[in-house]
């Protein structure tokens, strides 16, 4: 489904989710800023996404390496350790000598709090030991961080994560945003604790933008419209009913 005239933006060093009902395919932030078909199946065949990108109010292309995209599904080489997986990603994506790539990998491991898992096998299927789902998700994000992108797009970062892993991952992404990387992601629902960590929010319904702005302003906006969020209910669940 295409998003009719849905536009949004995200200031530098912020985290901006685009919540939407699960029955509707999210627009631009959910998919990479390119013409490649979406791997999870929302874009197929000759379907293409169109739009314009503005950086600081000026129409601009996104040069290679300035942005990263993390798909909803974790596609990892299960016979490698976490560090080897990131080295492999760096060798494929980064120019320059190996020594500089190695430092980028170590920075990505630190940024995603993967130090305790760096030398553990990713595992799965024919391997007896499988890395926990939350850590696998962090590895997928770290794969893009080796590029040191200015903007990072993530499709459903909390997909299949339990509440504790989801909260810890969002805290990590908040720290990442504080380093100067703008993080934009899609989300169908979140707990109240996770919702409180968002800087800005783009609320979508049936391809239309219902609200875009600071998270606290979203609560006030719907309260003024006669649709206040009950105290004991998650704001994201309330707004997307």
Each residue's pLDDT tens digit, 200-215: 999 888 888 888 999 8
Q: Look over the chain and give the mean of its residue pLDDT values, rounded to a whole number.
A: 81
Query: Which tens digit of pLDDT belongs to each residue from 71-114?
Result: 999 999 999 999 999 999 999 988 877 777 899 999 999 999 99
pLDDT of res. 27: 38
Q: Is the pLDDT at 123 greater than 50, yes or no?
A: yes
Please state the rounded mean pLDDT for residues 9-33. 50
What 3-state DSSP class applies to 107? helix
Q: Which of 20-34, 48-62, 115-129, 196-210 has the lowest mean pLDDT?
A: 20-34
Numbers of helices and strands, H then E, in the chain: 7, 8
- The neighbouring-strand residues paired with 59 are 54
Q: Is the pLDDT at 28 greater than 90, yes or no?
A: no
Residue of higher predicted confidence among 131 and 241: 131
8 Å CB contact between 175 and 150: no
pLDDT of res. 114: 97
pLDDT of res. 38: 40
8 Å CB contact between 191 and 234: yes
Question: What is d(CA 233, CA 241) in angstroms, rounded to the nearest whole number?
Answer: 12
- pTM of the shown model: 0.78
pLDDT band at 127 (very low <50, low <70, confident <90, very high): low
CA-CA-CA-CA torsion for 165, 9, 12, 67, nearest 10 degrees? 70
pLDDT band at 241 (very low <50, low <70, confident <90, very high): confident
Could you give all domains of the chain from N- to C-terminal order, each with its CATH number? Answer: 7-66+149-241 (3.40.50), 74-148 (no CATH)
pLDDT of res. 82: 97
Residue of higher predicted confidence among 124 and 16: 124
Nearest to 69 by CA among 108, 34, 26, 20: 34
8 Å CB contact between 90 and 172: no
Q: Is the pLDDT at 231 greater than 60, yes or no?
A: yes
Spell out the residues 6+ positions from residue 51 whose beta carbon is closer than 8 angstroms to its own: 28
Q: Is the pLDDT at 34 greater than 60, yes or no?
A: no
């Amino acid at each position: 489904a295409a998003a009719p005239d849905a536009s949004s933006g995200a200031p530098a060093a912020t985290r901006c989710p685009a919540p939407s009902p699960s029955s509707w395919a999210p627009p631009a932030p959910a998919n990479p800023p390119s013409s490649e078909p979406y791997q999870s199946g929302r874009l197929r065949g000759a379907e293409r996404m169109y739009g314009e990108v503005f950086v600081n109010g000026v129409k601009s292309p996104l040069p290679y390496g300035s942005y990263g995209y993390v798909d909803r599904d974790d596609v990892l080489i299960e016979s490698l350790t976490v560090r080897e997986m990131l080295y492999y990603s760096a060798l494929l994506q980064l120019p320059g000598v190996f020594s500089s790539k190695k430092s980028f990998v170590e920075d990505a491991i630190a940024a995603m709090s993967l130090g305790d898992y760096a030398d553990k096998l990713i595992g799965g299927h024919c391997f007896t030991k499988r890395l926990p789902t939350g850590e696998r998700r962090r590895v997928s994000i770290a794969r893009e961080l080796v590029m040191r992108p200015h903007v990072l797009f993530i499709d459903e970062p909390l997909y299949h994560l339990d509440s504790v892993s989801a909260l810890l991952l969002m805290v990590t992404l908040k720290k990442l945003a504080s380093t100067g990387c703008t993080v934009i992601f899609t989300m169908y629902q979140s707990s109240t604790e996770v919702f409180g960590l968002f800087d800005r929010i783009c609320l979508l319904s049936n391809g239309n933008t219902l609200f875009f702005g600071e998270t606290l302003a979203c609560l006030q906006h719907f309260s003024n419209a006669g649709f206040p969020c009950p105290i004991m209910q998650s704001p994201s669940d309330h707004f997307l009913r």
